[in-house]
Structure 1
Amino acid sequence: MDVSMTTWALTIVGLCALIAVDFFIGGRKPHEVSLKEAGIWTTVWIVLAALFGLGIFLFGGGQASGEFFAGFITEKSLSVDNLFVFVLIMAKFAVPSIYQQRVLMVGVLIALVLRGIFIAAGAAIISTFSWVFFIFGAFLIWTAWKLIQEARSDEEDEEFEENRLLKTVERRFPSTDKYHGTKLTIVENGKRLMTPMLIVMLAIGTTDVLFALDSIPAIFGLTQDPYIVFTANAFALMGLRQLYFLIGGLLKKLVHLSYGLSVILGFIGVKLVLHALHETGVHVPEISIPVSLGVICAVLIVTTITSLMASKKQAPAEDAAAGDETRTTRKGQDADAEHRADVDS
């Protein structure tokens, strides 16, 4: 798409306006987000993304529209993986439930700004060096293999490890141990201190950079248009806060999500390598956007269905194990009671 600077400016202003509306209507007053509220806002953001994609179809054609929807669905599916880490971050910093939406809102905005920088850098590199597609493709295939290895491993990361930037900030700037509403800093004994609220916001925003390392090359594998890459990322990220509250309880049931994401990343990696070969003059078949969109949607549907089926089969076994543990605990308590009774007599 040939996008003018005016269109870029209007798009950014429009996105900022949507974020402001989201904040003043749903996020201004700290409160616990209900499933109904999360469901409504999740639907709103998806509908807005669909309308934007329709607008691209009307003004940019079917190719550009297909690239946007493929990129949006890919980024949305990859962002679900972020939610697992967000849950760990919330637990690590013991964020009160009424403040979690504010943390996510600011954290996602930080992530969007950082991704914008990544996208600008990636677009500049791609326009100058076409061989970078080989690197992107190889990196995505390696990431896909790594995801499969992690999915097959029995070990689960139960704690969030702070990145170097966050550790540096905590080391150089003194902070408090308690939350003070939504305040980011307070003055105590004449000294300016950070609150945990600021730290956890930085944790959410900067941790997303790690996910951007695979998601940005992935979407560049579907389209090289910076405008589509940025807007697809923006719409995928801006609905992430509501999605956190909507499917937070279902995350543990998506047991095959890593396998699905690995297939998607591996597929896009192969697509990138084929595109790179084509750019160097080698006659190889290229994967079209409709095929890419179909594969991505099919993988996500199959992954969701198999995950729910596996979780449903696993639930009775977990209930039985929990029952055995409860009975063992009760037996131990009864034995202790009998022992104390014998001692008293």
Structure 2
Amino acid sequence: MTAVSLTAPAASAGTVIGGYAYTGKLWKADPLPALPQVSSGNASGLARVAAAATAKGSRELRTHQAAAPSWPAGSEGVLDVGRAANVGPVRVTAAPEGASARTAKAPASVKVETADRAGAQAANVDGLLVGLESADGSASGGAVSVAVDYGSIAQAYGGGWASRLHLVQMPACALTTPQYASCRTQQPLETVNDPVTHQLTATVQLPARDTSSGALKLDAVTGSGTAVAAVSDTGGSQGSYTATSLSASGSWTQSASGAFTYSYPIALPASLGGSAPRWRCRTTRSRWTGRPRPATRRRPGSATAGTTRRASSSAPTGPATPTGSPTPATSAGTATTRRCRSVRAPAS
């Protein structure tokens, strides 16, 4: 046997091993060498960035806070049309030039009566109800601009209720005799709903009084004035809440035995090949019973041929079985079957 030994020379300073020169110093983890730093200002002393100002014509974004509605109490007063004043949530001014309802000169003053919550609900108004009447003693009516502030009840209901509010005109008797159906009729008015100021504005035609008979000349208005109500519509700036039309998505059948079957199609995404089978699910519900019909049988080995008897009352009613045979059990229940299947193979 031949022995082979390898001898490696000890490394010394100045020795080059694998391209690296050994200087006789070993690397140590600590202490770490100082790292270069860039001098800068103190970040904690910097002034905070000022909040961006709200753009003109827009509103500041704030967290919504629910507020309980405050329904106005009943009030009454006289307003001068030429002055900016309110009676409760109502303000009356002269109608704008060119208003479609402006057929006569506006009265100098208007009597305003605001109904309370109970009075408004009695007239089938789930909102605000206001009575208007000319107070200057003139026989002729006139058009006025009526603004109703709904800010105190803007959050009375959900579903964008405030955005769906509009004004309707009602007979004046809605405030006095709301039990009559003719006093609860409503005629929509062309309304401007301002969500920022929470105001409803519309032009209202005050009725003229016939001095000969004392009757009003406006069919939709009875009494010595008119009434205006703020009620919700089916839609507004926040969307429409109109009931959608119903469309049948399935079909149902009933069999002669009373089984009710309802089936509906299931839409499947297109396959990679561009076609997909049509699937339909079916639910069938029916009642079943295993109770046999009452029957008679001959007595085996009876001396009197043709004699029959009913099954014993202690056993279930049904066709008799031979002597020694077990009595058939009766059962009943309800069966519900659900099944989905392809109704058409994919196109080739």
| TM-score bucket of the superposed structures, by smaller chain | under 0.3
Name which one, 1 or 2, has greater alpha-carbon Rg: 2
- For normalisation by structure 2, the TM-score amounts to 0.22
When you count strand as a share of all residues, which structure comes out higher? 2
- For normalisation by structure 1, the TM-score amounts to 0.22
Which is bigger in relative contact order (C-alpha 8 A, separation at least 6)?
1
